């Protein structure tokens, strides 16, 4: 398959997921975010910066769907992947989001 076409497909899924999330359609947003993550992890690898950001988005979307278990799972995956990156600039946000989830869980 053409890598550029795969990346474009992933980006479109990500953008559409954000659009749906803005409209309050959390379940469909999650579906498109998950597809974007699948494409990204296949093309760029699970430990890429974009994969970390998509895992963070999956965690936050799970949180908005009141699915704390998956929210925690995705954010922990994002932390693990982010720790392997040279540029850790996004890791603070992921840690903050994970902290929020853990506080909510009690």
We report the CATH number of the domain holding residue 31 as: 1.25.40.10
Domain with 29, as residue range(s), is 3-105
Alpha carbon 18 to chain centroid distance? 11
Q: How many domains does the chain have?
A: 1
pLDDT at residue number 106: 85
The residue ranges of the chain whose pLDDT is under 50 are none
pLDDT at residue number 94: 96
Sequence-distant (≥ 6) Cβ neighbours of residue 70 within 8 angstroms: 58, 59, 62
pLDDT tens, position by position, 62-89 = 999 999 999 999 999 999 999 999 999 9
pLDDT at residue number 1: 64
Alpha helices, DSSP H, located in the chain: 3-22, 26-43, 49-64, 68-83, 91-105
pLDDT at residue number 105: 87
């Amino acid at each position: 398959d053409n890598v550029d076409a795969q990346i474009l497909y992933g980006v479109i899924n990500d953008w559409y997921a954000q659009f749906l999330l803005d409209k309050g359609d959390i379940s469909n947003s999650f579906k498109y975010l998950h597809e974007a993550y699948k494409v990204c992890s296949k093309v760029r690898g699970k430990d890429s910066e974009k994969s970390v950001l998509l895992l963070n988005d999956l965690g936050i979307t799970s949180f908005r769907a009141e699915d704390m278990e998956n929210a925690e799972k995705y954010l922990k995956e994002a932390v693990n992947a982010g720790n392997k990156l040279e540029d850790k600039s996004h890791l603070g946000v992921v840690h903050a989001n994970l902290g929020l989830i853990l506080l909510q869980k009690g």
